[in-house]
Amino acid sequence: MNNLVIMPIIVPLIIGLVMVIFRQKILFHKILSVFTLIATGVISGFLIYQVKYNGIQTLQLGGWEAPFGVSMVADMFSGLLLLTTSIVGLLCLVFAFGSIGEDRERHYFYPLFLFLITGVNGSFLTGDVFNLFVCFEVMLISSYALITLGGEKKQLRESIKYVLINLLASFLFLAAVAYLYSVTGTINMAHLAERVGEVGQSGIITAVAMMFLFVFSLKAGLFLFFWLPGSYSAPPTAVAAIFAALLTKVGIYAIFRFFTLIFYHQPEVTHLIIGIMAAITMLLGAIGAIAFNDIKKILTYNVIVGVGFILAGLATYTHEGLTGSIYYLIHDMVIKAVIFLIGGVIIALVGTSKLNDISGLIKTHPYLGWMFFIVALSIAGIPPLSGFIGKVYITEGTFAVGYYWLGAIGLITSLMVLFSVMKIFMNSFWGETILSEDMEKSSTKGVMFPIVTLVLLTIGLGLGAEGLYDYVNIAVESLMNPSSYIEAVLLGYSD
């Protein structure tokens, strides 16, 4: 029992509620939200420390022992994601201070942001399938509100699609939970893993697993990503950045959790399907990123390529592949946030997202330009930046199990992604300067700090990959050996 496990969920929830009560004090909102995200960051750092030295930390809510109560579980994988969430969330929040506008702030922007973090953290920490659904909904309802906040025509139109798709996905999630409960008689993840391990993964359980894969793919944007480009280009920059950094990652986390803990007995079926879906996702995403001439569209298609690449590592189900996936997942959260922020700054400066109308920004904004260049290299996986190590491990994993096609597609799409971001760099920063400084629609004042910090973070993640390896290795060990997770939660209980 460790009450610290619940804290990353409780702290943002309480502070968000307090903010709702004191609605008009915007400055108070800003200070409190920064404080909250720092607090969750410190707590998750401490959780990582505890997991490293004392093993997986659990909390049985209300003292009801697993599998009868709701369990909260923090292992190294969720700990790393929690820490990254806090850091990326904090920086996106600081970006929002200077860019979101007072109207949105008055309409509960900061409480909604914290509720979103509550849902994301809850999804990472829960050890119960149904509770995962509830945390998903907390996150999604906040995201519905955030995506519509402001009420522009485009936002309303896109949010209707977004809400409808996610509602249907939620219903299918519930249906899948119902089938799983009927087949196994439990909804505690550790107990499920134990029972599925005992009776073997029969055809019907694999069918249920495919249903879960379908649901999480909709949320993660794996293959079923048709809703993503529209929805992620509608909201303001800070919101789009946090969506790109966190929301799809929660779906990816769920796929990882389910297909390493519970449904890992038939990798030749389930994981191969994940691999095929990942390959198609990467190809279609890369084609989309190349085809469009619009900054927002290019960036959203880059999110899709990233999702495919991370899941290619899971598809191999090897030590190398999963190591690469975790490295790349952390990298992707940081990099997608920063590239959305930079893209948003460019669009705000010029007032359009069409590449043909933007040119020569390097004269007036050299720092922004070179930071975009670094980020572009990092996305493509050029050493020593943070994308490199993940790509190497994932490719190694695909070659180790003989999925040469998957590794090859991963590498080819990396080049296509590099081309697509370089297209933005060359079009918007090079060329004739058509916009003098006083003609710009907004300034970069007050928004550079989060961008610079995130760029430093991607360089640091690349150079410090060696130091991170200890932690990633513990995460991969516990993903590859579900028995440690099961023992930590069930404490020796068996039917």
Asked whether position 165 contacts another protein by CB under 8 A, the answer is no
Asked whether position 21 contacts another protein by CB under 8 A, the answer is yes
* Stretch of 19-27, 219-227, 301-309, 438-446 lying at the interface with another protein (CB under 8 A): 19-27
Using CB under 8 A, count the residues that bind another protein.
Answer: 47
3-state SS assignment for residue 74: strand
Asked whether position 348 contacts another protein by CB under 8 A, the answer is no
Asked whether position 171 contacts another protein by CB under 8 A, the answer is yes
Q: Give the nearer residue to another protein in terms of CB position, either 153 or 445.
A: 153
Q: Give the nearer residue to another protein in terms of CB position, either 20 or 400.
A: 20
CB atoms inside a 10 Å sphere around CB 396: 18
Among 38, 160, 204, 491, binds another protein (CB under 8 A): 160
Q: Please name the residue that has the structure tokens 């996610």.
A: 166
Asked whether position 445 contacts another protein by CB under 8 A, the answer is no
Distances (CA, A) of 445 to 131, 214, 235, 296: 42, 43, 21, 22
Asked whether position 159 contacts another protein by CB under 8 A, the answer is yes
Spatial contact of 311 and 223, defined as CB atoms under 8 Å apart = no
Q: What is the phi/psi pair of residue 459, to 5°?
A: -65, -45
Contacts 24+ apart (CB under 8 A), 201-209: 201/263, 201/265, 201/266, 205/263, 206/263, 206/266, 206/269, 206/270, 208/176, 208/179, 208/180, 208/183, 209/258, 209/259, 209/262, 209/263, 209/270
* Stretch of 40-48, 157-165, 390-398, 485-493 lying at the interface with another protein (CB under 8 A): 157-165
CB atoms inside a 10 Å sphere around CB 231: 23
Site for another protein in 96-155 (CB under 8 A): 130, 133-134, 137, 140-141, 144-145, 148, 151, 153-154
* Structure token pair of residue 230: 């529209």
Rounded distance, CA 302 to CA 376, Å?
A: 11
Q: Give the nearer residue to another protein in terms of CB position, either 229 or 407.
A: 229
Respond yes or no on whether the N-terminal peptide bond of residue 67 is cis (omega within 30° of 0).
yes
Q: Give the nearer residue to another protein in terms of CB position, either 94 or 299.
A: 299
Among 43, 47, 48, 59, binds another protein (CB under 8 A): 59
Site for another protein in 172-211 (CB under 8 A): 174-175, 177-179, 181-182, 187
Footprint of another protein on this chain (CB under 8 A)? 1, 3, 6, 10, 13-14, 17-18, 20-21, 23, 59-63, 130, 133-134, 137, 140-141, 144-145, 148, 151, 153-154, 156-157, 159-160, 163-164, 167-168, 170-171, 174-175, 177-179, 181-182, 187, 294
